[in-house]
């Protein structure tokens, strides 16, 4: 099958990286080994996204609910995050990829916050490629934080209640504040068919692709397959097919 034309390449792909634990368990390995392999997939997929021409990629790396996991798994994940940031700094600079985060990063361990700030600072001027890590992220928390900030802006006279609209409110979401566009395509690996509190408002019109492949096994071919599937879909945004193709109707 031919590759989609550039117009059909999603500008922003969001991924729920799932299945590290099950991948490890099936092989008789500790869950953390699955997460270690998952980190390797992150490098592969960030490189593949650039090769395909996907400008922004958002990876769900740690949810607000993931703190409920066993403490040794949580600290293992934080250790891997620290390792990933240290290891990828030079690679991100070389490839001109900007790092952004969404989520309550101020609640992450201090060493992780330090590395995040270092990498963000070192890559902040890159505009072509963006990697967004969702860390201590949850949609409901994001909406609560946005409502708080919006209310404060109204109190301070920076926003008028009479102007309340999606355009004005969405600027207070983590994504809106950082200038991150809505995802065009959502991918979830490892067979689960749910959103798990990820970008619930921003995914309003995203195409969704669910694959049974576990995150440690996901690679460029799987990403390309999801992009090809995206290219076959018709995004109507509430309109009719005829309206979308008036010349051919
Ligand atoms: C995804 O893999 C990684 C994180 C949530 C951090 P999981 O750890 O959820 O793997 P499964 O779903 O238990 O297999
Ligand atoms: C979603 O995966 C969170 C991340 C990928 C970071 P989970 O594995 O935590 O989701 P549930 O618990 O299966 O819904
Ligand atoms: Mg999971």
> Is there a domain that residue 249 lies in?
no
Q: Using 50, 70 and 90 to split pLDDT, how confident is the model at 249?
A: very low
> Is there a domain that residue 71 lies in?
yes
42-52 per-position pLDDT tens digit: 999 999 999 99
Instruction: Please report the pLDDT score of residue 145 as a whole number.
Output: 98
Instruction: Please report the pLDDT score of residue 1 as a whole number.
Output: 44
pLDDT of 236 higher than 70: yes
The three-point CA angle 53-97-108 to 5° equals 125
Q: Please give all residues whose CB falls under 5 A of ion ligand 3, grouped by chain where several chains appear.
A: 18
Q: E strands within the chain?
A: 12-16, 56-63, 97-102, 129-137, 185-188, 207-210
> Is there a domain that residue 171 lies in?
no
Q: Using most ligand atoms within 8 A of CB, pick from 60, 102, 193, 196 the residue to mutate for ligand 2.
A: 196
Confirm if 66 and 74 have CB atoms less than 8 A apart: yes
Distance CA 79, CA 65 (A): 18
Distance CA 192, CA 34 (A): 17
> Is there a domain that residue 208 lies in?
yes
174-223 per-position pLDDT tens digit: 999 999 999 999 999 999 999 999 999 999 999 999 999 999 999 999 99
Query: Residue 173: which of 196, 140, 197, 206 has the closest Cα?
Result: 140
**What is the count of structural domains for the chain?**
1
> Is there a domain that residue 59 lies in?
yes
> Is there a domain that residue 72 lies in?
yes
Q: Using 50, 70 and 90 to split pLDDT, how confident is the model at 248?
A: low
Which helix (H) or strand (E) segment holds residue 136: the answer is strand 129-137
66-93 per-position pLDDT tens digit: 999 999 999 999 999 999 999 999 999 9
Average pLDDT, the chain: 96
Question: 60 C-alpha to center of ligand 2: Å?
Answer: 8
Instruction: Please report the pLDDT score of residue 245 as a whole number.
Output: 81
pLDDT of 155 higher than 80: yes
> Is there a domain that residue 158 lies in?
no
Q: Using most ligand atoms within 8 A of CB, pick from 68, 79, 190 the residue to mutate for ligand 1.
A: 190
Distance CA 115, CA 41 (A): 20
Indicate left, alpha or beta for 19 from its phi (over 0: left) and psi (-120 to 50: alpha): left
- pTM for the model: 0.96
CATH number at residue 15: 3.40.1180.10
9-30 per-position pLDDT tens digit: 999 999 999 999 999 999 999 9
Give the domain range for residue 124. Answer: 10-139+182-234
Q: Using 50, 70 and 90 to split pLDDT, how confident is the model at 7?
A: low
Q: Using 50, 70 and 90 to split pLDDT, how confident is the model at 3?
A: low
Q: What is the DSSP string of 16-34?
A: E---HHHHHHHTT--HHHH
pLDDT of 2 higher than 60: no
Average pLDDT over residues 163-171: 96
Distance CA 29, CA 27 (A): 5
pLDDT of 103 higher than 90: yes
Residues with catalytic roles: 18, 66
Ligand 2 lined by 63 (C-beta under 6 Å): yes
User: What is the three-class DSSP state of 245?
Assistant: coil
Question: 226 C-alpha to center of ligand 1: Å?
Answer: 20
Average pLDDT over residues 146-151: 98
> Is there a domain that residue 194 lies in?
yes
């Amino acid at each position: 099958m031919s590759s989609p034309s550039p117009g059909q390449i999603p500008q922003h792909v969001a991924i729920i990286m799932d299945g590290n634990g099950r991948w490890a368990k099936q092989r008789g390995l500790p869950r953390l080994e699955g997460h270690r392999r998952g980190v390797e997939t992150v490098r592969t997929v960030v490189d593949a996204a650039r090769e395909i021409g996907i400008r922004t990629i958002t990876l769900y790396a740690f949810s607000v609910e993931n703190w409920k996991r066993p403490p040794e798994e949580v600290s293992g994940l934080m250790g891997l995050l620290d390792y990933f940031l240290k290891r990828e700094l030079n690679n991100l600079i070389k490839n001109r990829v900007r790092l952004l985060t969404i989520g309550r990063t101020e609640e992450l361990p201090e060493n992780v916050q330090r590395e995040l700030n270092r990498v963000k600072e070192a890559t902040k001027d890159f505009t072509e490629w963006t990697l967004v890590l969702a860390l201590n992220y949850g949609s409901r928390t994001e909406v609560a934080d946005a409502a708080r900030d919006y209310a404060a802006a109204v109190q301070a006279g920076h926003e008028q209640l009479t102007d309340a609209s999606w355009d004005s409110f969405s600027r207070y979401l983590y994504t809106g504040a950082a200038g991150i566009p809505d995802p065009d395509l959502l991918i979830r690996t490892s067979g689960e068919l749910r959103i798990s509190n990820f970008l619930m408002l921003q995914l309003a019109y995203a195409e969704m692709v669910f694959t049974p492949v576990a995150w440690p096994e996901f690679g460029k071919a799987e990403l390309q397959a999801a992009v090809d599937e995206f290219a076959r879909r018709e995004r109507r945004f509430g309109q009719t097919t005829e309206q979308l193709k008036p010349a051919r109707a």
